[in-house]
Structure 1
Amino acid sequence: MTDRRLLVISRIGVGPPYAGNRSRMAALLDDLRALGFELHFAGVDLSAEEKRETIKAVDRWIHDFVWPPGGRRPLAARIRQRLAGAWQRLRRRCWPGREPGPSIGNRPLDDWFHPSWLAEARRLQRAGQYRRVLVSYVIHSAFFEAFDSSCLKILDCHDVFTDRNAMLQKAQLDPQEFWISLNPGDERRGLRRSDVILGIQERESSYFQRLTHGRRVVRTVGHIIPSDPLPFSEPQGFGEALAPVVGYLASANPLNRVGLRWFLEEVWPLVRARGGVGRLVVAGGICGAMSFPEEVQLLGIVPSPRVIYQLSLFMINPMLSGTGLKIKTVEAMAHGRAIVTTPAGVEGMALAPGVSVAGTADDFAAAVLAYLRDPVAARNAGVAAAEHLGGLRHQAREALLEALDTPPVQRFRPAFR
C-alpha cells in the first residue's frame, strides 16, 4: 500500500517508564515511525499524564475514546455478568470445599468496550479512510467492526487472557486483584476479528495460531526495545555505600509484588548469610505498594528507567508466574545489564548471554552471589546481553514489517460476531 498512515487505537500509552506494557508501546511506536509509517493515535481512557507523553511519540493525536460518566454496559452484558456472579455464589454455597474451575473471574469479551465507541470509530474512518488500523488488546477488538475488508486490521495482543484469573488464583492473589480474564471461546472470537495477530513471544503466538485454527496470520514481535547500554557508575561513599547495587524496577502489579516478596523472604537472606556484600535498590510504583526491610533502598517512581540501570551492577526479575514477554528482562539487557531471573522471567525467550535463570531460591542466591563476588563478570555479561538483544530486535522489526504488508482478509460475513 502506498498510503503509509497507520491508525493506532490503544488503552495504553508510553508512560510511566516503570510499566512494562508502556515501555513496549513506546518501542513499538518508535519502530513503526522508523519503518516509515505516519502514526495517527486514538487513546482509550488514557490519563492526562499518559496522553501528554504519548503525543510526543506520534504524528497526530486524533481522538479520545472515553467511558461516559455513569455510562452503563449493554443490557445483555449486564445480564451475563449477574448470571456469572450468581453461578459462582451458588457453587460456593452448594460445594463449599470444592476448588473453583478455571472459569473463575472470566468476563465477556466486550465488557471493556463501550457501545458508543463503535459509532465514534466509524466517524473516524469515514473522515480518515485508513487502510491500516492497529488495536491494542483483544478486549478492544470490537473496534475492528468500524473498518471494512479493504482495511488491514492488526491486533497487538500483549498477553494471553484465557483463564488468566485462574493463574492469578494459583499464585494466591486475592480475587480483588484479578484482572482481565476470558474463556477460550471469547478470546478466539476477539482474535478472529483481526487479519493479523501480533504475539509478544513464540509460545503465545503458537497458542493464538491454534486458537484461530490457523485462519489468521500470526507474527511474533517481542524484542523491540532498542539496545542502549549505559556506562557503569562507580559507587560513592564509605563502607556499605561502596557495595555493588542489585537493582529491581517494577510497577505495583500484584505478580511483581508476589515475586519480590519471595525474593526478600527466601533469596536475599541466603545471599546475606553466605557473605554477599551488596545493596538492594528498588524503583518504580512497587515501592509504595508493599513493605520492605530497612536495608532495602527505595527510589520510588523515577523519571526514567536509566536512573536505576545506571546505578546497578546487575538486575533481578524474581517473577514466579505471568503471561506475555517479561519486559523487565528485555529492558535490563537493552541497558547493558546482566539479569538474574526465574524460568517465568524468560518465558518465550531462548537462552541469552547475560541472563541467568534460577528455578529455586538456593540457585537464585548462588547466581546473585556470583555476580556480587565478580563484578567484572557481571559487567561483561551485561555488554554481551545488549549485543545479543540488538540481533533479536532486527528479527522483530522484520516480523513487524511483514505484518504491516499483509493483505487484508476478505470476509463473507461481518467481523463483529
Structure 2
Amino acid sequence: MGLLMPPDSVEKPAILVLAPMPAAPVSAGNRRRLVATCEALTRGGFAIDLAYYAHEDQIYRRFGQHPPTDLLEMERTFRNVFLIEARTVIPLKTRSTAFGIDEWCPDEVGDFMAWYCSAYPETGAVLVNYVFLSRALEGVLPGVLTLIDTHDRFAGRQNQYRPFRAEPNFFYTDAAGEAAGLARADVVLAIQAAEAAYFAGLTDSRVLLLPPHFPAQKPFAMPERVARIGFLGHGNDPNLFSIGRFIRTWRDGWTPDRPELVIAGEICRSLPGVEGPGVRLLGYLDRLEDFYAQADLVVAPMLMGSGLKMKVGEALSFGRPVIGTEIGLEGFEPVVPAHRCRDAEAVKEAVLAVSRDAEALARLSRASEALFTRYATTAQAAEAELIGLLERHERDRTSPSPRMRGEGRDDLVVGATRGSAGDGVVQVETHPSIPPDPRLPPHFGDDRGAEALSVRAGRRGTNLDAVSIVIQGGGLALTCETSANSRTAADPDLGVLVATERRPGRGTAAVYAPLRQRWFARAEASAVGDPPDLGALDVALSPEWVRDRKLPPATRVALARAFARMQADWETEGRMVGSAGDRLEIETLLPGVLVNGTHPAAAFLIAGEGASELRLERVTPLHRREIDTYANLTGRLPAPLPVSLSFRAAAMSPASGCLLFLTDDGIGRIILPEGAA
C-alpha cells in the first residue's frame, strides 16, 4: 500500500475514518474496501485521520494467531493514526435470534469519539465502517457530516449458513436493528446496487452507491492456454465453505491434462491436508502480482456471502478472465453464463470448457474485460457523487470557534459517560503503580512514558525509531520494545514475541497513540540470577505460549516465572486429589467455555523459587462443586463449572503453589493452598 497523504495534507479538510480492521496489510476483502474508500477520499482532496478499533487483533488472538496488523505502514499512510484498545470481549455467539445493533460497539469506542471531537473540532466528517459501530456517531459534534460504510447487509445474514449446518462467527442482526443503526448516519454507503436498494427501503438517511475503485494493473491478454486456475482469499467462513466445496468438485476426475488449482492468501492456513493432485497451496503472498503471475484464470465459486467480492475486482484489474457463481460476481452486474454459474459444479464445467476451446477462452477474456469496463465506469461516477456531496458540506458548514488542536495535549482528558457514546465529561486520569523491578521500562500510563506516547509521537513524518530495553536473568533475555512496528512476531535479535501490553486509561492523547509495548523472549546460555518479576502487567499473550512453543522448555519455565503476576481474566482455587509418578489430578473450576470441546492450553505450576510446565491431558466435568472461590476479574470469560484436570509433569511436582492456566483467549490463575490436597 503506497502513501495516500501528500505532504500538504495538514491543510486539507479532514475526515475521521473509524474501522474495526487495520488498513495494513491489505490481506482481506474488508481491508481492501477500507483502503479503497480512503483512497477515494484522498483523491477528492481530503486528509484522513484513521482510528483503528483493535477488534480484529482480539479476534485473531482468540483463534491462536498473531494479528496481521501493520501500524507502521498505517503511520506512513494517513495524516493521523489512533489505536483504540479492544478491552471488552467481542461476543461471537448470541443466545438471541440476532445480535443487538450495539453489542459490538463497546464503551471504549464512544470514549475515543468524545475525546477526538474535543481534540479535533475542525474535522468536518466522520465515517464509520460497519453498521455495528454506528453507536459511535452519537458522540459526533453538531454540524459534522456522519457516514456509515456498510460493507454488507447484516439483517438475516445468519440464514446463509443454514445450508452448511453452521453458525456464523461474525455479526448479524435483524432488520429493526440494522434500520436503527443506519438512522444514526446522514449518509449510508452501499458497496453494490442491490444492497443500496435494500438500504434505501430501510432508512430515511441518504443512500449512496460506492463500489470500490480497482485501478487497472495490467491489460487483458488472452492466455495461450489455461495451465493454472487461481483462488485468492481470507480465511473467513464464506471463503472456506465455498472453496472447500469447489476443491472436492475439482479433484473429482482430475487428470494431469487439466488445469491445476492454486490457492493463496490467509485461507491456506485453514486448509490443511487439501494439497494433492490438481490442488496446490501457495500460502500468504505479500504481493498480489506474485499470485496473478501464477494464475491464467481466476475462479470465484462462492456459495454464500454478501457485499462485493474484492477478489473478483482485483482479478479483473490484473487482466485475468474470471469464472464464478452469481453470488461470486454479485455487484458486478454479470451478463455471460460463465459469470453466473449456479454452483461449484457449473464453475468446474465452465473452466474445463474454456481450457479445451481457444475461441471460448477468447470470448471469456473479452467478456471479462467488458465487465470490468462497465464496473469501472459505475465506480468512478459513484465516487464523484460522494466527493461532490462532501465538498458541498465542507463549503456550507460553519467553522468551529478558534481553539487549539488536541494534538499531543495530555492535559485534555475526555471520556464518555457509561451507557452513552456521546455525552463527554471531564475525568481525572489515574495511573498504575511503578513496576516492581527497577530494570523495567516505563509502561503505558506511567508519567515518565506519557510524552513518548503522545499523538504527536505518532504523526507521519516524525521519527518512529523503536525504544528497546533488555532484561536478563535465569537463562532468559527479555526485550521490551515500544514502537509502531506491530507486525513482527519473531526477530533474530529480539527473539520470539510473547506478549503485548494493553494500554490503560481513556480520553487522552497518550492512550490513543499508535504504539505498542511488546515483549520478546530468547534463551540465554547463562542461567545466572533469577528471571525478572514483571509485576501485574495487563497483556495479551502471543501464540508462543499455547500454540507455537518455539522456545526451549527451560526458557518457557523462566518466562512463566517472569510473567507469573500478570493480570488474570479469572482466578480460583484448586486442590490436588491425586499424584502418582509424573501424573497429577487437580479439582478446580474452569470458565464454562473451556469445559467442552478442544481448547489448546498451557499450564505452569509455580511454587516458591521453582516452576515447571505441565501437560494437560484431559478435562473431566464434575457433577459436584467442591470449590466455591472464583473471581471473574475482567469479564472476558463466562461462568465457571467444576472439573478435574489431568496433567503430566516432567518431574514430581509440589502439592501447593500457583497454577497458570493459559488458553488462546484467557489467562487463568489457580491457587493450590498448602494442606488442600
TM-score bracket, normalised by the shorter chain, equals 0.7 to 0.9
Structure in which a larger fraction of residues adopt strand:
2
**Quick check: 1:196–1:403 contact (8 Å CA) kept in 2?**
no
Please state how far the C-alpha of 1:232 moved relative to its aligned partner: 7.0
Aligned pairs (5 A) from 1:265-276: 265-269=248-252, 272=254
Q: 2:30 aligns to what?
A: 21
Percent identical among aligned pairs is: 24
Mapping for residues 377-388 of structure 1, pairs under 5 Å: 377=363, 379-388=365-374
Find the residue that maps to 1:211 and give its secondary structure: coil
Please say if 1:400 is aligned against 2:386. Answer: yes
Q: For 2:382, give the aligned amino acid.
A: A
- Per the TM alignment, residue 407 of structure 1 is displaced from its structure 2 partner at its CA by 4.9
- Determine which of 75, 84, 88 is the counterpart of 1:55: 75
1:228 to 197, 200, 217: 217
1:252-267 map, 5 Å? 252-267=235-250
Q: CA deviation at 1:169?
A: 2.9
Q: What is residue 197 of structure 1 aligned with on the other side?
A: 188
Q: Is the 8 A contact 2:220 2:320 kept in 1?
A: no
| Equivalent residue number for residue 137 of structure 2 | 144
- Distance in 2 (alpha carbons) for counterparts of 1:276 and 1:358: 23
Contact 1:267 1:364 in 2 (8 A): no
**Matched-pair contact (CA < 8 Å) for 2:102–2:132:** yes
Q: Displacement, 1:264? A: 1.7
**Shift, 1:67, TM fit:** 2.1
- Corresponding letter in the other structure for 2:194: R
| Distance change (3 Å), C-alpha of 1:402 and 1:205 | farther
Instruction: Please name the residue that 1:134 is paired with.
Output: 127
Contact 2:220 2:369 in 1 (8 A): no
Superposition map of 1:3-402 within 5 A: 4-45=13-54, 47=57, 49-61=69-81, 63-68=82-87, 71=88, 85=95, 103=97, 106-129=98-121, 130-173=123-166, 175=167, 177-212=168-203, 215-229=204-218, 244-269=227-252, 272=254, 277-290=258-271, 291-295=273-277, 296-351=279-334, 356-373=339-356, 374=358, 376-377=362-363, 379-402=365-388
Q: CA deviation at 1:406?
A: 6.3
Q: Higher relative contact order by CA 8 Å / sep ≥ 6: 1 or 2?
A: 1
- Per the TM alignment, residue 388 of structure 1 is displaced from its structure 2 partner at its CA by 3.9
**Could you report, residue by residue, the CA deviation over 1:290-341 in whole angstroms, capped at 9, with x for unpaired residues?**
2414121111001022211122111001110111111122221111111111
Asked if the contact 2:109/2:421 (under 8 Å) is kept, the reply is no
Paired position in structure 1 for 2:402: none
Q: Which amino acid aligns with 1:320?
A: L
For the residue of structure 2 that corresponds to 1:206, the secondary structure is helix
SS at structure 1 position matched to 2:102: helix
Larger Rg: 2
Structure 1 distance, partners of 2:192, 2:370, is 21
For the 8 Å contact 1:354–1:385, the answer to whether it is kept is: no
Q: Specify the SS of the correspondent of 1:347.
A: coil
Q: Which residue of 2 aligns with 1:92?
A: none
Kept in 2: contact 1:133–1:153 (CA 8 A): yes
Deviation at 1:211, TM superposition (A): 1.2
Say whether the 8 Å CA contact 2:235–2:270 is kept in structure 1: yes
Amino acid at match of 1:128: Y
- In structure 2, do the counterparts of structure 1 residues 312 and 116 end up closer, same or farther at CA, with 3 Å as the change threshold? closer
Using the TM superposition, give the Cα deviation of residue 194 of structure 1 relative to its aligned residue in structure 2, in angstroms.
Answer: 0.6
Query: Do 2:230 and 2:299's aligned partners in 1 also have CA atoms closer than 8 Å?
Result: yes
Question: Measured at CA, do residues 17 and 353 of structure 1 come closer, stay the same or move farther in structure 2, by a change above 3 Å?
Answer: farther
CA distance in 1: counterparts of 2:381 and 2:367, whole angstroms: 22
Normalising by structure 2, we get a TM-score of 0.50
Aligned partner of residue 325 in structure 1, secondary structure: coil
CA shift for structure 1 position 255:
1.2
For 1:19 and 1:348, the matched residues in 2 are separated by 18
- Distance between the aligned counterparts of 1:287 and 1:72, measured in 2? 27
2:15·2:124 contact (CA, 8 Å) conserved in 1? yes
Q: 1:72 to 1:388 in 2, by over 3 A?
A: closer
* Between 318-327 and 39-48, the greater mean CA deviation after superposition: 39-48
C-alpha contact (below 8 Å) 1:340/1:356 kept by paired residues: yes
| Alpha carbons of structure 1 residues 38 and 223: separation in structure 2 relative to 1, 3 Å | closer
Query: What is the CA distance between 1:377 and its match in structure 2?
Result: 4.9
Unaligned runs of 5+ in 1: 89-102, 236-241
Cα displacement (A) at 1:178: 2.8
- SS of residue paired to 1:169: helix
Cα distance change, pair 400–50 in 1 and its aligned pair in 2 (3 A): farther
Secondary structure of the structure 2 residue equivalent to 1:39:
strand
CA pair 230-251 structure 1, distance change in 2 beyond 3 A: farther
Structure 2, unpaired ranges of 5+: 1-10, 58-67, 398-419, 424-677
Using the size of structure 1 for normalisation, the TM-score is 0.80
Give the root-mean-square deviation of aligned CA atoms: 3.2
SS in 2 for 1:343: coil
Give distance in 2, aligned partners of 1:297 and 1:111: 40
Name the stretch that deviates more: 329-338 or 380-389. 380-389
Q: Is the 8 A contact 2:324 2:341 kept in 1?
A: yes
Q: Distance in 2 between matches of 1:233 and 1:304?
A: 22
CA contact (8 A) 1:333 1:354 kept: no
Contact conserved, 1:118 with 1:146, CA < 8 A, in 2?
A: yes
Contact 1:201 1:348 in 2 (8 A): yes
Q: Deviations over 1:346-370 (max 9, x none)?
A: 2233126896221144432231023
Aligned residue in 1 for 2:517: none
Query: Is the contact made by 1:18 and 1:305 (CA closer than 8 Å) also made in structure 2?
Result: no
Q: Which deviates more, 150-159 or 13-22?
A: 13-22
Structure 2 letter corresponding to 1:218: V
Q: Deviations over 1:8-36 (max 9, x none)?
A: 11112333434111112122211211111
Q: Distance in 2 between matches of 1:248 and 1:403?
A: 37
For the structure 1 residues 66 and 406, does the alpha-carbon distance in structure 2 shift closer, same or farther, using more than 3 Å as the test? farther
